[in-house]
Structure 1
């Protein structure tokens, strides 16, 4: 539901009254003390914070792109505003806010909001932490009865004397406020009243009852005391920079908060461009009315979502409550001790230094960006700190993108393996050449290039080394795992992203198709059985040599007979360990103790059927049963077949699968045998008796769609018959009738490489789901 809807259905009004109105009251109770505190920290009139809260709630809430985001004066902008007030005066700062709003509206209209998400979160969190530290240090002096200094460093240097010399009522008020804030968070039953509100009420009442001499908040007549904007005087370059700084900081903070709110509710996803434009309009109005800059605020938004807000009415109503409270109860605000607001700001500033962000960033090695940004904001200034953080983040990103790893290790007698991983650019050439120099001249080298990019400088260095090594009598076998960057450069072809292949581009190939010739797999389409004798001999020799490298050698250096007998299998194992195992190891480690497949997949033992390839599934997805003809013996068959039956029973009752799929295929040898004569093989003859129901169904079915011939139709009929056989198991039939288990039939056309879902009535592929 949005405010732009012409009418609101009655059920939506009931939802507003039940969910949004209570949530708006909770947010209002949080917003008032925070707005007052941010105004004090910004050096602005106290009423300016309330103006921004009203405008942000009503205008940004009604027009924004998020249904639960709450906007208002943000602590993250307090340093910028304080500096602008000191430089240009408050009314000129209002003009800067207005102009910044216009910039945001233009940016929203240009639909560039998503560009703000390209800012490193480490920079944003570091900026907010630095702002929090500066606010806490400055307001701590107010709590101690003193006056904040011009810089954070001066505040730190003056802090010991403030602590030693000031022990007045302001200190007692501040300490009491902080104590209530700390204790309140640890009392779950009292959390219905927001901690900031409870702290201010407690400090105000205590100061009034005990008669403490404390400076009170000067509201100065409420909204009537707010003055309109005037044009700033000074260097227009500096003024323009200030406008852009306010627009960008407020915009980025709002958009990042907006993205975070998507995880807090189940309503419509946020429209970032609309949100940015709405924030701009709110800043135009707030600046025109003499209010602080407006931005999306994390604390208020989180409070709104947790309070159960369902629509933007909660945000709008909270602004209305702030307006009514200020108009009717402005005299209550004037009773609040200034030291209590300062203590609230100290508490908020410390909370802005969120150690949870540091822990999250540590895993991505971005803590230096966070610390540098925070340090720059504290010691130099907000704009300078953010610029330094962005520069460091860019440098670290460039370093990661250009990072390359070169591993050189000996393998056997005068054989070396070189593995180059990463982006091979001119920055990595020194490391590459140093590693290649360790390879002895004349040796055999297996060079694995696992690259996502190679520039010309790297290519020339690698190619020159290769030519020199081969002139010295050495051999080099180059295998490019990702894309053929080196091969393309040698051939003079352009390097485009489209040339990149997946990192597992060879894992699905049969062994006989993976013979190497100058580092490239032979994919000429020639079936292995049709290869010439010479080619087969070369391939066998290559595979045997590869396998021999991994065998366990005896004292005389002879290979064990077992490894020599299975060269393709050993070679495949080596390739798995080298390429695939590092990729799947973290996944398999997590599922090593238990399995939770979603499908029981029954298919033929045919070597051309690879279930994980034709279903694009991975480890842990399919509980697979394979047999000749993808047959499911009926539960009443005599003698019973416990192999398939036990698998069905275990998958359904223990693993809890919710889908059983039977997958047949074209040219099935078992169905060929049923149509013709079963070979004189006793075990096979006994097994194929379970296919008699399929053959009888085939004979009784009119041959209306025999485009593929009788064998093709029998293969499809057989799939549907096996689904019926599954329902002879009582526990399967019971779950199917209850809608808790689904049976599906698939058919794989090998020649067309196409998988179809079969219609149980016609045995034909379902047209709407056909994948070819």
Structure 2
């Protein structure tokens, strides 16, 4: 039913667009007129049925017109058909080898620049036909001949061309005519004065499909033939895959399978070449039209090919009424549209405009293959420069100097690095922050030589590496990673004592880290190179240790942590926090214990703006009717659900909770704590009932957790306490109403500190959260 309601109407719209475009591309390619229609039929039926995208429409592409025109001029039409067939075989093999995603490694700036260049070349050649003349052999010759062509007397040809362009420009702005595509309307309207004048060039399709010839093997140098096959296969394949990726953004249906799409394109090109058709590729214009027309499945693309076949067989004589000047005007209009300003704006954001314009200019001035090669070379060069770009910042901070190096530290950065380091005065205390993802030998030697010279002059250098320890490993001779590394995550979550004191987080006793594996500030040479160097380094390390001890005594860990945040994390978070500075929209109210070992954002991998957090001793939620009422927790609940409109309230308990231990034993003689823990009395009663039932051999009640694995009474109470607090939440009328209406969900979590495992409450009790999802 969906096919009849959605895909059949969409296929008719695409059919009306595809016929004039296919005819125009045939003319621009120098191929028989029927060749474009053959490619449209095969692209629709074969590629549409076998392709990896359910909405992509394939057929002759304007981006390949220049390639085909050059091949026809060099090898002849029948040999060009064989090149199309061989290119299809290559695409088929590449698709079966599952390398389609490798084509996405081609810079889109090169592809868009190539298409823009092809569009300019097509427009320059077709404008001469619109003016009643003949196109020249190259784009530059067309430019040079254009002034003389403009001043010549052209008669009625110019009127037909201008009429066609005028219709294309205003058609979409006219009311209630959008059912008929602008290209079809332009050709039909232009055909009326052409028929009345009776003196304009008409398209000859008298032989229909029977006029097509079978392919022949190309004659000439094998290298030129192989190059042509590769060029057609790669250009058609890349354009199809990029269109396929773009089509996924246009609809919400199944995602595209790129390997299947490339295989289908290969099969379509084999058949098209064998039948005397143009090369087939996925086309953006037809695909966009298909989606906008409401297509839901691949039946739309298939049916559009069927409609073209029926039209040519039954009404092919109508094509002969279209004036060639109108078709040339349509091609000129399409060529201008291929210079897409939207792509230029997107590339500007990523600083890839030079690639786009250089590729476009290369295609126009030199040739298609040469322009693409130049664009690829420029893209590779700019990528190399970006990958090796480094930032070196030197500034004085209090009585110390800070040198921050960011990026990839290679030999290309050595002049800039040494020039910046020369600004550090002799004898200064220096914090050297290496936020680098790669360091080669030249950069290391320059950095090491400066450090040794600076320390001989009485200065100190504190090296801190945010990424893997390229500098430390280079000093010790340890083999480093083969490639660039990602930012280390072994620092920010460690307690201050581990980061500042160099304690080993993997050691239960907090043993010192081995040399070369310090987890934070104060990273020094892991192994000296000589005995003299060892002695010098020991004296320098002792001096730095004394200075650090003095600093630690005067500067608490909290301020040191804030300084580290300002230096490392704040620059990365500032753009994010700037956007949410005036408002917050958390999705969760997270109620948990004030225990220092529980870090909500750490155990939930959440960030700023995700959790609205309320913490107290024992993660308790006083009941609404408790006396005296607790306004702190109640205020947090009311604000979260009434103002912030959170969707979930989570109560998170943990193992070894001190509040629960106080309930099981003697509560400390602290009046405030004793008064607060009265809100846990229901949890304690529930726990004792559970113990009595367990002692009697009765099964646990519905919703109650199973016994703790190790029989730990404290951890069992910690789990039961979470369940009780969820019940307490339901005593608050606002919460209960939202839960009943399905607009609010209550969940329970339990964090086992010893195993670092998060457990979630379900119908069977607390279940560990799996490390991988079922779909991974």
Matched, 1:616 2:622: no
3-state SS of 2:649 partner: strand
1:636 to 611, 625, 628: 625
How many residue pairs are counted as aligned between the two chains? 731
Write the distance in 1 (CA, Å) between the matches of 2:741 and 2:139: 69
- Asked if the contact 2:590–2:611 (Cα under 8 Å) also holds between the matched residues in 1, the reply is yes
> Once the 2 structures are TM-superposed, how far is the Cα of residue 522 of structure 1 from its aligned partner?
5.9
> Once the 2 structures are TM-superposed, how far is the Cα of residue 541 of structure 1 from its aligned partner?
6.3
**What residue is the counterpart of 1:662 in the other structure?**
651
Structure 1 543/708 Cα, relative in aligned 2: closer, same or farther at 3 Å?
farther
1:542 to 532, 535, 548: 548
Write the distance in 1 (CA, Å) between the matches of 2:345 and 2:78: 42
> Once the 2 structures are TM-superposed, how far is the Cα of residue 509 of structure 1 from its aligned partner?
1.6
Matched, 1:56 2:43: yes
**What residue is the counterpart of 1:733 in the other structure?**
736
**What residue is the counterpart of 1:749 in the other structure?**
752
Which 10-residue stretch deviates more, 382-391 or 325-334?
325-334
- Asked if the contact 1:543–1:567 (Cα under 8 Å) also holds between the matched residues in 2, the reply is no
CA deviation profile, 1:382-417 (whole Å, cap 9, x unmatched):
00000000000000001111111111112234x321
**What residue is the counterpart of 1:672 in the other structure?**
661
Write the distance in 1 (CA, Å) between the matches of 2:512 and 2:360: 68
Matched, 1:650 2:636: no
CA deviation profile, 1:526-565 (whole Å, cap 9, x unmatched):
768999xxx9x99896276379xxxxxxxxxxxxxxxx5x
**What residue is the counterpart of 1:25 in the other structure?**
12
Structure 1 181/294 Cα, relative in aligned 2: closer, same or farther at 3 Å?
same
Structure 1 714/105 Cα, relative in aligned 2: closer, same or farther at 3 Å?
same
> Once the 2 structures are TM-superposed, how far is the Cα of residue 103 of structure 1 from its aligned partner?
1.4
2:57 to 70, 81, 95: 70
Structure 1 610/359 Cα, relative in aligned 2: closer, same or farther at 3 Å?
same
Matched, 1:625 2:614: yes
Write the distance in 1 (CA, Å) between the matches of 2:511 and 2:85: 78
Write the distance in 1 (CA, Å) between the matches of 2:201 and 2:359: 35
**What residue is the counterpart of 1:702 in the other structure?**
691
> Once the 2 structures are TM-superposed, how far is the Cα of residue 460 of structure 1 from its aligned partner?
1.7
Structure 1 139/458 Cα, relative in aligned 2: closer, same or farther at 3 Å?
same
**What residue is the counterpart of 1:368 in the other structure?**
354
1:290 to 256, 276, 295: 276
**What residue is the counterpart of 2:81 in the other structure?**
94
**What residue is the counterpart of 1:258 in the other structure?**
244
- List alignment gaps of at least 5 residues for structure 2: 514-540, 695-706
Give the 5 Å matches for 1:3-42: 14-42=1-29
**For the aligned residues, what is the CA RMSD?**
2.4
Structure 1 24/641 Cα, relative in aligned 2: closer, same or farther at 3 Å?
same
> Once the 2 structures are TM-superposed, how far is the Cα of residue 19 of structure 1 from its aligned partner?
1.4
Structure 1 543/385 Cα, relative in aligned 2: closer, same or farther at 3 Å?
farther
3-state SS of 1:283 partner: helix
Write the distance in 1 (CA, Å) between the matches of 2:657 and 2:107: 56
Structure 1 546/408 Cα, relative in aligned 2: closer, same or farther at 3 Å?
farther
Write the distance in 2 (CA, Å) between the matches of 1:339 and 1:759: 73
Structure 1 315/732 Cα, relative in aligned 2: closer, same or farther at 3 Å?
same
CA deviation profile, 1:37-67 (whole Å, cap 9, x unmatched):
0001111111111111111111111222222
- Asked if the contact 1:756–1:770 (Cα under 8 Å) also holds between the matched residues in 2, the reply is no
Structure 1 718/582 Cα, relative in aligned 2: closer, same or farther at 3 Å?
same
**What residue is the counterpart of 1:486 in the other structure?**
471
- Asked if the contact 1:757–1:769 (Cα under 8 Å) also holds between the matched residues in 2, the reply is no
**What residue is the counterpart of 1:551 in the other structure?**
none
> Once the 2 structures are TM-superposed, how far is the Cα of residue 505 of structure 1 from its aligned partner?
3.4
- TM superposition score normalised by structure 2: 0.90
Which 10-residue stretch deviates more, 502-511 or 219-228?
502-511
Structure 1 758/524 Cα, relative in aligned 2: closer, same or farther at 3 Å?
closer
2:388 to 402, 423, 430: 402
Write the distance in 1 (CA, Å) between the matches of 2:114 and 2:567: 43
- Asked if the contact 2:504–2:512 (Cα under 8 Å) also holds between the matched residues in 1, the reply is no
Write the distance in 1 (CA, Å) between the matches of 2:49 and 2:751: 54
Matched, 1:427 2:412: yes
3-state SS of 1:448 partner: strand
Structure 1 444/663 Cα, relative in aligned 2: closer, same or farther at 3 Å?
same
> Once the 2 structures are TM-superposed, how far is the Cα of residue 423 of structure 1 from its aligned partner?
0.6
- Asked if the contact 1:423–1:453 (Cα under 8 Å) also holds between the matched residues in 2, the reply is yes
**What residue is the counterpart of 2:111 in the other structure?**
124
Write the distance in 1 (CA, Å) between the matches of 2:86 and 2:576: 52
Structure 1 458/539 Cα, relative in aligned 2: closer, same or farther at 3 Å?
closer
**What residue is the counterpart of 1:557 in the other structure?**
none
> Once the 2 structures are TM-superposed, how far is the Cα of residue 731 of structure 1 from its aligned partner?
2.0
Structure 1 625/498 Cα, relative in aligned 2: closer, same or farther at 3 Å?
farther
Matched, 1:604 2:593: yes
Matched, 1:346 2:332: yes
2:569 to 576, 580, 587: 580
3-state SS of 2:296 partner: coil
- Asked if the contact 2:460–2:544 (Cα under 8 Å) also holds between the matched residues in 1, the reply is no
> Once the 2 structures are TM-superposed, how far is the Cα of residue 161 of structure 1 from its aligned partner?
1.6
Structure 1 363/281 Cα, relative in aligned 2: closer, same or farther at 3 Å?
same
Structure 1 437/188 Cα, relative in aligned 2: closer, same or farther at 3 Å?
farther
